[in-house]
Amino acid sequence: MDKNKIIVFDTTLRDGEQSPGCSMNTEEKIKVALQLEKLGVDVIEAGFAAASPGDFDAVSRIAEQVKNSSICSLSRAIENDIKQAGLAVEKAPLHRIHTFIATSPIHMKYKLKMSEDEVIKRAVHAVEYARTFVDDVEFSLEDAGRSEIPFMKEVMDAVIAAGASTINLPDTVGYRLPTELGAMVKELSDFAGNRARISVHNHNDLGLATANTLAAVTNGARQIEVTINGLGERAGNSALEEAVMAIKTRKDAFGDLYTSINTKEIYATSRLVATITGVEPQQNKSIVGKNAFAHESGIHQDGVLKHQETYEIMKPEDVGVIKDSTLILGKHSGRAAFRDKINQLGFDKITDEELNSAFEKFKVLADKKKEVTDDDVRMLITDESLNHDKTYELVGLQISDCSNGLPTAAVSIKYNDEIISDANIGNGTMDAIFKTIDRLTGISGDLQSYNVTSVTEGKDALAKVTTRVVFDEQTPSFVGHGLSVDTMLATAKAYLGSVNSFLSQKERLSKRTEHQV
């Protein structure tokens, strides 16, 4: 074990997905997982395989595609959860099962209704059973932040003897202060010695998640559980970009400690996760927020112009923020400049088909906008690669909405090479669009959330719409994305995207069931 290496365990696809409104479909999770691999994370917690057939499908398909990061699934200390986790991760060249049970008095008494002895028995059996599937087992003492140290030591002794090699100490409810968390980690990492690696998983309920993660690292933790943009249950988890950049920027405080993250991929990863979830980091969010490297006031601008380090402790390019792009894209730009920009933005896995289709959309956009910005291009490419499921394709949309009339939408879509059209009235224009699409596809969706943001400033900015739609009781919500300078067009595309995503998941799951039968 390299004593200076901090293992980065990313849980964007599991705890991050527990952020209300952040669920992702399988294709989107695969995109995020491949980007996390490119970012250099050591372990990707790809989901909770036993939670649903869709979650199992996502974890197992990620396991088939990711080669360089270990793929992990969470499971309760319950045989069936562990079995699902084991089966889902088995195809990954590197894999891990993460099992957990709560050890705090409040959780044991009220939630689990179990005695300390029962908890230890369940924990030991879970680890032993997990070891029948994989060699690498992580055990979490849920709510370690409010657990008693002597009991935690008993649990640790037992699960290490049963075969766990990583012991995670989650501050599940974000209760601890950095000094307290640091002291707990010090005592328990000294106790574990070289029998197991100590990990931390901090929540941000008091805004202390990253401070706690860093306090843990200086006190012996050698794995940090983090998420992109700090997504996660309630107030979120410790953000990967914050912890990693603190360790890199403050070498004087962290000595030889290091992570294997390629920090130049941080911004691209943050943008991908924000686009897919539809949840933008706040503007003043450290490292990845819109204002993280912006200087507004004269004295600061003067300082930065004279010497960048007067007001910047990190270089924006070190986290992949490209400032002062030299190539300005507009309607006279050709394929070469477009490809060059895409490469500069770090999209190296894009297919020729995706590039050509994005280029066509870029030309249409350039006709409408004076200057196409880096963020516009990033969105065009991301949109192209996210909208692979194309059972239905939007061909035309006509809307009318007079203040005293009936909001109406006429929609044309392509289905099996045939154009089908219909029109409907609604309570508003959007309602009319959704109702018409429902009638055309024969599938009725229930819109759970609708989010529209503008990609850049200006009246001619691209609108990015994210819809989250539920189609039946058996499956979760399906996310759709639409991009256009026209918000209503983006809305129709996003809603159809949700329909397409639902249909492709349904088809994949029924094939899997047929195969199993």
Ligand X SMILES: CC(C)C(=O)C(=O)O
- Applying CB under 6 A, among 8, 24, 30, 101 the residue interacting with ligand ACO is 101
User: Which DSSP string corresponds to 352-396?
Assistant: HHHHHHHHHHHHHHHHH-S-B-HHHHHHHHHHHHH----SEEEEE
When CB distances are held under 5 to 8 angstroms depending on the partner's kind, the choice from Mg ion, ligand X, ligand ACO, none that residue 140 binds is ligand X
**Nearer to ligand ACO by C-beta: 85 or 365?**
85
Q: Which of residues 36-75 bind ligand ACO (CB under 6 A)?
A: 48, 50-51
# binding residues, ligand X (CB under 6 A): 10
**Nearer to ligand ACO by C-beta: 151 or 258?**
151
CA distance linking residue 496 with residue 481, whole number of Å: 9
CA distance linking residue 342 with residue 406, whole number of Å: 44
Mask for 11-30, x = binds ligand X (CB under 6 A): ----x---------------
Mask for 63-92, x = binds ligand X (CB under 6 A): -----------x------------------
Cβ-proximal residues to 352 (8 Å cutoff; 6+ apart), any chain: none
* Terminal C-alpha separation, the chain: 44
**354 backbone dihedrals φ, ψ, rounded to 5°:** -65, -40
Instruction: State the nearest-atom distance from the C-beta of 474 to Mg ion, in Å.
Output: 26
Rounded alpha-carbon distances, angstroms, from residue 395 to 7, 18, 229, 479, 502? 48, 35, 35, 20, 20
112-137: buried (b, 16+ CB within 10 Å) or exposed (e) per residue?
Answer: bebeeeebbebbbbbbbbbbebbebb
Instruction: Give the residue numbers of the binding site for Mn(2+).
Output: 15, 201, 203, 237
Q: Which stretch binds Mg ion (CB under 5 A): 7-15, 43-51, 305-313, 481-489?
A: 7-15
Instruction: State the nearest-atom distance from the C-beta of 29 to Mg ion, in Å.
Output: 18
- Applying CB under 6 A, among 112, 196, 462, 489 the residue interacting with ligand ACO is 112
**75 backbone dihedrals φ, ψ, rounded to 5°:** -155, 145
- Applying CB under 6 A, among 31, 96, 107, 201 the residue interacting with ligand X is 201
**Nearer to Mg ion by C-beta: 15 or 136?**
15
Of 251, 187, 256, give the one whose Cα is nearest residue 216. Answer: 187
Q: Tell me the CB-side half-sphere exposure of residue 70, using CA atoms within 13 A.
A: 17
Instruction: State the nearest-atom distance from the C-beta of 233 to ligand ACO, in Å.
Output: 6
Q: Is 45 a binder of Mg ion (CB under 5 A)?
A: no
Instruction: State the nearest-atom distance from the C-beta of 336 to ligand ACO, in Å.
Output: 47
**Nearer to ligand X by C-beta: 80 or 449?**
80
Q: Which of residues 12-31 bind Mg ion (CB under 5 A)?
A: 15
CA distance linking residue 48 with residue 89, whole number of Å: 11
The helix or strand, by DSSP H or E, that contains position 450, with its residue range, turns out to be strand 446-454
- Applying CB under 6 A, among 19, 35, 172, 275 the residue interacting with ligand X is 172
Q: Which stretch binds Mg ion (CB under 5 A): 8-16, 110-118, 255-263, 286-294?
A: 8-16
Helix and strand numbers, DSSP H then E, in the chain: 17, 14
Q: Is 235 a binder of ligand ACO (CB under 6 A)?
A: no
- Applying CB under 6 A, among 170, 182, 220, 497 the residue interacting with ligand X is 170
Q: Which of residues 121-160 bind ligand X (CB under 6 A)?
A: 140, 142
Rounded alpha-carbon distances, angstroms, from residue 92 to 48, 61, 70? 16, 9, 7
Mask for 113-152, x = binds ligand ACO (CB under 6 A): -----------------------------x----------
Kindly report the number of other CB atoms within 10 A of residue 186's CB atom.
17
**Nearer to ligand X by C-beta: 74 or 162?**
74
# binding residues, ligand ACO (CB under 6 A): 15
Q: Which stretch binds Mg ion (CB under 5 A): 10-18, 144-152, 156-164, 181-189?
A: 10-18
Tokens 């709510």 appear where? 143
Q: Is 88 a binder of ligand ACO (CB under 6 A)?
A: no
**Nearer to ligand X by C-beta: 31 or 201?**
201
Instruction: State the nearest-atom distance from the C-beta of 445 to ligand X, in Å.
Output: 31
The helix or strand, by DSSP H or E, that contains position 284, with its residue range, turns out to be none
Cβ-proximal residues to 183 (8 Å cutoff; 6+ apart), any chain: 219
**Count of residues making up the chain:** 517
CA distance linking residue 12 with residue 33, whole number of Å: 9
DSSP conformation class of 243: H
Of 43, 319, 408, 54, give the one whose Cα is nearest residue 197. Answer: 43
Q: Which of residues 265-304 bind ligand ACO (CB under 6 A)?
A: none
Q: Which of residues 215-234 bind ligand ACO (CB under 6 A)?
A: 233
CA distance linking residue 354 with residue 362, whole number of Å: 12
When CB distances are held under 5 to 8 angstroms depending on the partner's kind, the choice from Mg ion, ligand X, ligand ACO, none that residue 464 binds is none
Q: Is 45 a binder of ligand X (CB under 6 A)?
A: no
SS3 for 313?
coil
Minimal CB distance residue for ligand X: 170
Contact positions vs ligand ACO (CB under 6 A): 15, 18, 48, 50-51, 76-78, 100-101, 111-112, 142, 172, 233
Contact positions vs ligand X (CB under 6 A): 15, 74, 100, 140, 142, 168, 170, 172, 201, 203
Contact positions vs Mg ion (CB under 5 A): 15
